[in-house]
Amino acid sequence: MTDRQIDRIIEMAWEDRTTFDAIEYQFGLKEQEVITLMRKEMKPSSFRLWRKRVSGRSTKHQAKREFSKGRFKCSRQKSISNNKVSKRY
């Protein structure tokens, strides 16, 4: 794996809403392999903080999630359909 891929896996593993299934789909690493990678690439104290944060977190496991798809959107959140940037592409 390249350094860029490893950095992205670490970033995804730290994100609360990114599941291990998404990491496996994108990079082919199962949950245990992600844990091994995190242990290897991070300082011991950072790894312990991450493990404490991830352990038992239902959002990291697709089967344990309370919602099936999408993400929360506040009713007061503005739509970006009239955004000039989105029309450039």
User: Is residue 89 scored above 50 in pLDDT?
Assistant: no
> Per the domain annotation, does 42 fall within a domain?
yes
Confidence (pTM): 0.64
35-80 pLDDT, tens digit per residue, is: 999 999 999 999 999 888 888 766 665 555 555 555 555 565 555 5
pLDDT at position 17, please? 77
∠10-12-15 over CA atoms, to 5°?
110
Residue 7 in any domain: the answer is yes
Segments forming the whole domain that contains residue 16: 3-64
Whether residue 44 is contained in a domain is answered as yes
Residue 58 lies in a domain: yes
Q: What is the sign, positive or negative, of the torsion defined by CA atoms of 5, 6, 7, 9?
A: positive
Q: Is residue 52 part of a domain?
A: yes
Domain count for the chain, please give it. Answer: 1
